[in-house]
Amino acid sequence: MSAKITVSAHKLPGYGPTMRTAKRLTEQAVRIVGRAVSGRMPDVEVTLTTERGMAELSAAADLALAGSTDRRAQRRAVDEGKRLARTVMARAVPCPDGSVLVLVIADKHRTEAEFAVTVVHELVHAMQFSRKGVIERVVRDTRDRLGIERQSRRDARDHLYLLQQEEREARGCHHLANQIVPAAAA
């Protein structure tokens, strides 16, 4: 059974051509990443949004993953979402149902090539979430970051180390974007 891929927009009016391009590039990237990276491609929802939309959706996704409605956790999630939206172009977040939400700030991608590199990078993270123990580790870290449940120092150190490994792997796959848009990873 193949993964279900959806591309949508959040608070992004008038981006019809961008949506069509994003859908085409995402479908191609899913096939390429699925063959090149170990793991199983989960259902993926790619959402094109603005910086403000990224902060909002990122906070909601973190709270859903952590399983919390605590006011302090909500405040922390919103603050962290705003801070993150200012510094990143996209983010992949595992969902409680096993799917992955990929949030992409449309305005930070000037060309198809930039978008292709970003989508490949985030889809590699989606594949990583399917590996043994990764979701549990991400949930534990999210609950710790939101002040819901502390994790041990060892778990925090292990998570940071593995996160760096996963980032290196995702950056190492940027060359796959060349198969979607020639000269993308240049």
pTM beyond 0.85: yes
> Reduced to 3 states, what is the DSSP secondary structure of residue 42?
coil
Tell me the helix, strand and coil percentages in the chain, rounded to 5: 60, 10, 25
The continuous run of DSSP H or E covering 162 comes out as helix 153-172
Residue 30's identity, in one-letter code, is V
* List of residues 6+ apart from 23 with CB closer than 8 A: 7
Name the one residue in this structure whose structure tokens are 């925090």.
Answer: 156
User: Which pLDDT score is estimated for 54?
Assistant: 96
CA dihedral 80, 33, 139, 101 (to 10 degrees): 60
User: Which pLDDT score is estimated for 185?
Assistant: 53
Residue 112's identity, in one-letter code, is E
Q: Strand 90-94's sheet: what is its strand order?
A: 5-9, 44-49, 100-105, 90-94
Distance CA 151, CA 141 (A): 7
User: Which pLDDT score is estimated for 1?
Assistant: 53
Mean pLDDT of successive 10-residue segments in the chain (186 residues)?
88 86 94 95 96 96 92 95 96 96 95 95 97 96 95 96 97 94 65
CA angle 76, 117, 124 (to 5 degrees): 65
Instruction: Give Cα 93 to chain centroid, integer Å.
Output: 5
User: Which pLDDT score is estimated for 72?
Assistant: 95
Residue 86's identity, in one-letter code, is R
